[in-house]
Chains A and B, each alone.
Chain A
């Protein structure tokens, strides 16, 4: 991943539109990039065809199409930058971005901040684990501030007050605007957090619509493993009851294809914004994402 951070891959965004909205498709054309991101668990879906190739549904080629969550994940982890592909309406898209940038930014700013906190927490935990492995537990406390600082510097963090941020944005390259648009318009942020949490547990996701879910999760590279689970769209942890009919469907579906039906949601409410400091996050042992896996009991 470090290599990628030094030389982020280029995600080209193809702009199209339908009756209601402008649609962005994140694509990658460069084979070396595809290989590099596959090594860090982002597989995407090959989508290129030739009009006359009869086997076009089976053997597809570049470009690699990414799920929005994959694109956001790459960007947040500093492994990718965006650019707009030339196309019939790409210029209009820039105008659209400019006119909406303020609003988009507000929406996405909050969400990104949240993710930085999660990142910090994760890295801190990893750091502690690493130190433990090296057998230098005792020094963590003493060196805490120092190592915190190191972690902070390794993050992709924008810490600025609003006006500063506005300035920063208006001068920023197209990358920032595109990510804002993606975050604000496409992925439910909770879905992204489910994706992130699964990715941190080393699962690799691919689109799940064909199997009746949001994602299909593989325990390793999809070429080597069968998938274990169908992951449903994120539920509202507090207010959205699990639909029992749907659960019955999901679990029944899973039995025939040997997959578990996974439901998950994000706990937002137990942390006020003000105490989202690294220390508090560490003290609070609760995970931010809660998953349950469902399986038919085999009778009844």
Chain B
């Protein structure tokens, strides 16, 4: 599927594939209408973990990626309700976490994991 080169989905996809060296990053078809936006997730696999000790056996971890844009002046839109809806409507049930990709207006994209519910660091 070709992705609109103007979209934040494309920026996140390109960044993950060509900068962070992720694999199989694709934009998902399902979308969620939220206020006046359409929210779409991406799915992909991280490169092998940099710490050699906690490599996964089969090495096929797939993560959902939620792109959001952040500009210096525009208002933000991601509420708790919105996050709950994203989990409900766009993810497989039992999805534990999302990779939040914040697309800034300064050319950078920063990544954070968002776990549903309370999650201690020990369980990671």
Docked CA distance A244–B66 (Å): 13
Structural contact, A293 and B119, CB atoms closer than 8 A: yes
- A243-B76, A244-B102, A300-B15 are known; give 18 further A-B pairs, CB within 8 A: A228-B120, A237-B80, A238-B80, A242-B78, A247-B102, A247-B112, A248-B112, A260-B119, A290-B80, A292-B114, A292-B117, A295-B124, A296-B111, A297-B111, A297-B112, A300-B20, A300-B108, A300-B110
What residues of chain B lie closer than 8 Å to A229, measured between beta carbons? 118, 120
Cβ of B36 under 8 Å from chain A: no
Structural contact, B121 and A260, CB atoms closer than 8 A: yes
Docked CA distance A118–B12 (Å): 42
What residues of chain A lie closer than 8 Å to B113, measured between beta carbons? 294-297
- The residues in B between 96 and 124 inclusive whose CB is less than 8 angstroms from any CB of A are 99-102, 108-122, 124
Main secondary structure on chain B at its contact with chain A? Answer: mixed
Structural contact, A241 and B112, CB atoms closer than 8 A: no
What residues of chain A lie closer than 8 Å to B115, measured between beta carbons? 260, 292-295
Given A239-B79, A300-B110: A248 and B102 within 8 A (CB)? yes
Q: Mark B49-91, 1 if CB is under 8 A from A, else 0.
A: 0100000000000000000101000011111110110000000
Chain A, Cβ-Cβ closest to B51: A298
What residues of chain A lie closer than 8 Å to B114, measured between beta carbons? 292-294
Of A219, A240, A244, A267, which is in contact with the most chain B CB atoms at under 10 Å from its CB? Answer: A244
Given A241-B75, A259-B121: A292 and B109 within 8 A (CB)? no
Task: Specify which of A235, A293, A297 is in contact with B80 (CB 8 Å cutoff).
Answer: A235
Docked CA distance A96–B99 (Å): 51
Q: Which 6 A-B pairs have the closest CB atoms?
A: A297-B111, A241-B76, A293-B119, A300-B111, A228-B120, A293-B115
Task: Specify which of B101, B108, B112, B122 is in contact with A228 (CB 8 Å cutoff).
Answer: B122
Q: Mark A247-266, 1 if CB is under 8 A from B, else 0.
A: 11001000000111011110
Docked CA distance A298–B111 (Å): 8
Chain B, Cβ-Cβ closest to A238: B81
Docked CA distance A257–B54 (Å): 21
What residues of chain A lie closer than 8 Å to B109, measured between beta carbons? 300
Cβ of A93 under 8 Å from chain B: no
Given A297-B112, A299-B111: A244 and B70 within 8 A (CB)? yes
Given A228-B120, A248-B102: A295 and B112 within 8 A (CB)? yes
What residues of chain B lie closer than 8 Å to A46, measured between beta carbons? none
A-B contact pairs, 15 of them (CB 8 A): A228-B121, A229-B120, A242-B78, A244-B76, A245-B70, A248-B102, A260-B115, A260-B120, A267-B81, A292-B117, A294-B112, A294-B114, A295-B121, A295-B124, A300-B108
What residues of chain B lie closer than 8 Å to A228, measured between beta carbons? 120-122
CB distance from A245 to the nearest CB of B (A): 7
Docked CA distance A251–B113 (Å): 9
Task: Specify which of A240, A244, A298, A300 is in contact with B68 (CB 8 Å cutoff).
Answer: A244
Docked CA distance A251–B79 (Å): 17
Structural contact, A291 and B118, CB atoms closer than 8 A: yes
Chain A, Cβ-Cβ closest to B71: A244
What residues of chain A lie closer than 8 Å to B120, measured between beta carbons? 219, 228-229, 260
What residues of chain A lie closer than 8 Å to B79, measured between beta carbons? 235-242
Cβ of A198 under 8 Å from chain B: yes
Task: Specify which of A219, A259, A293, A296 is in contact with B117 (CB 8 Å cutoff).
Answer: A293
Chain A, Cβ-Cβ closest to B20: A299
What residues of chain B lie closer than 8 Å to A242, measured between beta carbons? 76, 78-80, 83
Cβ of A201 under 8 Å from chain B: yes
Docked CA distance A262–B111 (Å): 16
